[in-house]
Amino acid sequence: MMKAQAYLIILLVSSLSFGCGEFYKLEKSTNWDELYEAANRYYDQGDYNKSIILYDRVLPVIKGSGKAELAEFNYAYAHFRMKRYIESAGYFKTFFDTYNRSPLAEEALFMHAYSLYLDSPDYNLDQRSSREAVNAIQLFMNRYPESDSYERATSMIDDLQKRFEEKAFEESKMYYRLTDGLFPGEFYRACIVNFQNFAKSFPDSKYNEELAFKLVEVSAAYAERSVFDKKEERLNQSIDFAQDFNQKYPDSGYGKKVNNLMSETKTELESHYRLKEQYEARSAEARKIREEEERNQAATEALRNVEN
């Protein structure tokens, strides 16, 4: 039994050594036909790393020949199988641009988009690469609207759009948290703009009701803390937001809070109007006194001129 096990180990080591020795010879070979066949063989066997190394050697030599098309397609797929998605995306796109009439062109363009999709990050990270993936998927869908992969491409775009939505919602929550700081003024304004933009970008989002409530809440606080000259405009804006909320979400669980905020804002607005009337009355009285003083001063000056 022990002898049999030892024999198997020796056989395994020998075969591995032979395989390594064979690949080492291929790396040094200039027999391009042999390299081409070996690269394809390693690819078919699933040894993608070795196939990439050999394709790197042989592709510049066979470029433009009948062998190049399959080699370049396998080369792109080998990178994909190794989960080198950025590289595979580039190689699949190059293949499509070079062989756009090939029977493999449709698959190459889809794999270009799919590679970018797989490389796109979670929603809490920078989404620039995800937008590149969306553009690539859209390119595929426009080029091959009848493709069997069209529905799959649509689901990929839907998934990426959800990531954009989650990313935007996290940014909205960040601005909202910052309104609790020492200098909330700028963040109130940023919240209002951000919440409105979110609703425009994602009109069907499950978060719109919550953000619409926060829009009323933030705008009311912003108006309350505004300087006198801006207060009336911002109080009216907050009331408009509350009325819009009630119209869009008549059965919302936030309804009571929204109505309380609107009532408080209307009370604040009425108080502001009274202060404004008092201010305008005092200003008119001060203007009247100043004009009277100016007339008296003019009359005094005129009398002095007559006496002189």
Residue 163 has pLDDT above 60, yes or no: yes
Only one residue has tokens 């036909």, namely 33
Q: What is the mean pLDDT of residues 136-158?
A: 96
pTM above 0.85, yes or no: no
* pLDDT one-digit tens code per residue, 177-194: 888 765 666 789 999 999
Residue 105 has pLDDT above 80, yes or no: yes
Q: Which two tokens stand for residue 87?
A: 């590289």
Structure confidence at residue 22 (pLDDT)? 72
Structure confidence at residue 14 (pLDDT)? 45
Are residues 140 and 147 in contact, defined by beta-carbon separation less than 8 angstroms? yes
Are residues 156 and 129 in contact, defined by beta-carbon separation less than 8 angstroms? no
**Dist. CA 130–CA 90, nearest whole Å:** 15
Structure confidence at residue 121 (pLDDT)? 67
- What DSSP designation does 226 have? S
Residue 70 has pLDDT above 90, yes or no: yes
- Is the Cα torsion angle 197, 200, 205, 208 positive or negative in sign? positive
Q: What are the start-end ranges of the H helices in the chain?
A: 2-28, 32-44, 48-62, 68-81, 85-98, 105-119, 128-143, 150-178, 185-201, 208-224, 228-248, 255-307
Are residues 130 and 124 in contact, defined by beta-carbon separation less than 8 angstroms? no
Structure confidence at residue 120 (pLDDT)? 86
Mean pLDDT of the chain: 86
Residue 296 has pLDDT above 80, yes or no: no
Are residues 167 and 124 in contact, defined by beta-carbon separation less than 8 angstroms? yes
Residue 155 has pLDDT above 60, yes or no: yes
Q: What is the mean pLDDT of residues 125-145?
A: 88
Structure confidence at residue 65 (pLDDT)? 86
Structure confidence at residue 148 (pLDDT)? 95
Amino acid in position 49: N
* pLDDT one-digit tens code per residue, 165-178: 999 999 999 989 88
